[in-house]
Amino acid sequence: MPDDIFQDALPPAQRTPRKRAFTERDRRTVHERLTDCAHNPDLYDLAEALPPPGRVGRRRAYPDVAFLFFLAARSVLASARRTAAHLEDPEIWKIFREGVRSELGAEAALLLPETGPTRSQWLHAQRRLRDHADDLWDLYRILALDQALEQGIFPKDETRSWSNPGRHQLIAADGTVLKSPTLARAHRSIDMRTGEIRYHRIDPASTPQREGGGNEAYGPKYVFFSARKDENYLSQVFLDSRYVPHQHPGGEAAIAVDGILDIMGRAPGCMGVLYDGAFQGTHRDAIARRGGLVINKQHKGNEPQFYETLRPGRCIHELWAANGRIAEKVSFADGTTELVPVPIRRLERRGTRTYRWYHVLEIPCRRGSHIRRLAVGTTSRAGERPPGESDEERGFHRAEHLIPEFTRTHQLVYPYRSDAESGHSQLDASLWNGRLISYGVEAQKLLTLGFVLAQNSTSRALHDEVSPLLSPTA
């Protein structure tokens, strides 16, 4: 379809490889990553948001920011035991002291002990941080988005093309099941051969889950939201992470929609989201009404559905909805019929607070093409149209794809969703043996906060390294 704004999809043999080879420039040593964490200003903003210590009892040996650094370093080093062992080395602890000197001043750095906290001190502090995990996440969502805007993600004043959005203008989001810290699923088990009763520690947040491929996994589910401006491996900025309670109404997709709408509300330059098949019509509808694109694949089981018959003059054009777009039913001489996609000339967004989306179609005809504007993206509800004419009453789900799946634009844009998958791989690599090292939702929220802090610290450091520095003129 040469006149289609999204163009025809290319066969695999004609596609240009877009993967970039991993180079030495993409490597980051442990020392460099710990330095990135120590110099991240968000770490100190989070520490200031925590309540001050009480006047009763022994004075704390370490400030809150030291344990937040421990939390981020634990994601780099995979376990609390390894982190404590590294921070006991004065040379490693010096990294954090230099960060404190840079952010808080020399006096605050001099007040720090000569070595870092022990594992027992961390476990004691973790119990206090767990009580404020939600408050820390509420603040960090704002800080992470501010970092993304500083790095050129979601630019407000940049030209936007709704039919061809840029990578830095979209959220990449996906849910993942983290492996439970233990294989046990019951507090007690009985050896049927010997009769021995064994007691086990279990994770209260872990439940049997079904992943996208149909495989069963055991653990808690989280949805991660991220974005990046370029193709550098470590430039990704994580914007949010949300826990999906077991049997939550709407499941993963409902939690994801809430997170996406929150980000879009605070970032006017955000154009939409890349997601997998978990998003269906009701989820696309909610985001489209707020003015956002949803780019994903057509869910299975959505059969072609009759839309309407046009009779402009002596012509008759029978239109159907198939594969997320309008197609015309064409009859051939041998008696067979085929649904041929109708070329889309423009993708339009109209509205202010609540938005409406349209495909401007050019219907081919031997008597001259017909231009018709059809509503897409949002499904009209009862009361929004005359009685009996709303999509809800007709049983027609209009909220399908603003960018149809089998097009060249979809081939170019949808692969950016792999950013979400790479984030999950980085998270698994940051865990000891690929399993969670925390029990319970609150402790696991702290773990995901530490992971996001560590990743975003490196992203910020790389951005600062390549940003042009202003030099005084002669």
- Judged against a pLDDT cut of 80, whether residue 320 lies above it is answered with yes
How do the domains of the chain map onto residue ranges?
305-404
Task: State the average pLDDT for the chain.
Answer: 88
CB neighbours (10 Å) of residue 66?
25
Q: What is the DSSP letter of 319?
A: E
Helix axes 64-77, 80-87, angle to 10 degrees: 120
CA distance 163 to 437: 43
The SS3 of residue 217 is: strand
What are the two backbone dihedrals, phi and then psi, of residue 9, each rounded to the nearest 5 degrees? -70, 145
CB neighbours (10 Å) of residue 210?
11
Grade residue 111 by pLDDT with cuts at 50, 70 and 90. Answer: very high
- Judged against a pLDDT cut of 60, whether residue 403 lies above it is answered with yes
| Cβ atoms 66, 117 nearer than 8 A | yes
| Model pLDDT for residues 268-290, shown as the tens digit of each residue | 999 999 998 888 878 888 999 99
Closest-CA residue to 406 (of 4, 133, 22, 3): 4
- Judged against a pLDDT cut of 70, whether residue 474 lies above it is answered with no
* Half-sphere exposure of residue 419: CA atoms within 13 angstroms, side-chain side: 29
| Cβ atoms 402, 294 nearer than 8 A | yes
- Judged against a pLDDT cut of 90, whether residue 130 lies above it is answered with yes
pLDDT above 70 coverage of the chain, percent: 94
| Cβ atoms 212, 278 nearer than 8 A | yes
pLDDT score for 60: 85
For residue 275, what are its two tokens? 């997601």
CA distance 173 to 239: 10
Give the containing element (helix H, strand E) for 241: strand 237-244
Closest-CA residue to 426 (of 134, 172, 130, 78): 78
| Cβ atoms 414, 11 nearer than 8 A | no
Give the containing element (helix H, strand E) for 274: strand 272-274
CB neighbours (10 Å) of residue 340?
14
Mean pLDDT across the stretch 252-280? 93
CA distance 26 to 314: 63
Mean pLDDT across the stretch 52-71? 87
* Beta strand pairing call for 355-363 and 344-351: antiparallel
- Judged against a pLDDT cut of 60, whether residue 471 lies above it is answered with no
Give the predicted TM-score (pTM) of the model: 0.90
For residue 158, what are its two tokens? 């940049």
What are the two backbone dihedrals, phi and then psi, of residue 314, each rounded to the nearest 5 degrees? -90, 0
| Model pLDDT for residues 143-181, shown as the tens digit of each residue | 999 999 999 999 998 988 998 999 999 999 999 999 999
Angle at 151 between CA 147 and CA 154, to 5 degrees: 90
Grade residue 300 by pLDDT with cuts at 50, 70 and 90. Answer: low
For residue 443, what are its two tokens? 């402790």
From 104-108, 218-222, 305-309, 385-389, the region with the lowest mean pLDDT: 385-389
Q: What one-character-per-residue DSSP string does 107-170 give?
A: HHHHTS-SS---HHHHHHHHHHHHTTHHHHHHHHHHHHHHHHHHTTSS-SSS---TTS--GGGE
What are the two backbone dihedrals, phi and then psi, of residue 385, each rounded to the nearest 5 degrees? -135, 170
Which residue bears the tokens 């064409």? 330
Give the containing element (helix H, strand E) for 229: none
CA distance 55 to 127: 19
The SS3 of residue 28 is: coil
Alpha helices by DSSP H, 151-185: none
pLDDT above 90 coverage of the chain, percent: 57
Grade residue 106 by pLDDT with cuts at 50, 70 and 90. Answer: very high
| Model pLDDT for residues 329-380, shown as the tens digit of each residue | 998 888 899 999 999 999 999 988 889 899 999 999 988 889 999 888 767 7
pLDDT score for 472: 41
- Judged against a pLDDT cut of 60, whether residue 468 lies above it is answered with no
Q: What one-character-per-residue DSSP string does 344-408 give?
A: EEEEEEEESSSEEEEEEEEE--TT--EEEEEEESSPPPTTSSSTT-SHHHHT----S-SS-SSBH
Largest pairwise CA distance in the chain: 91
All residues at 6 or more sequence positions from 208 whose CB lies less than 8 Å from its CB, including other chains: 216, 217, 218
| Cβ atoms 62, 117 nearer than 8 A | yes
| Cβ atoms 432, 10 nearer than 8 A | no
Helix axes 64-77, 90-104, angle to 10 degrees: 130
The SS3 of residue 202 is: coil
- Judged against a pLDDT cut of 90, whether residue 395 lies above it is answered with no
CA distance 59 to 113: 13
For every residue of 29-56, which 3-state class applies, written as one string?
A: CHHHHHHHHHCCHHHHHHHHHCCCCCCC
- Judged against a pLDDT cut of 50, whether residue 469 lies above it is answered with no
* Residue 417 burial class via C-beta count within 10 angstroms: exposed 0-12, middle 13-18, buried 19 and up: buried
pLDDT score for 279: 86
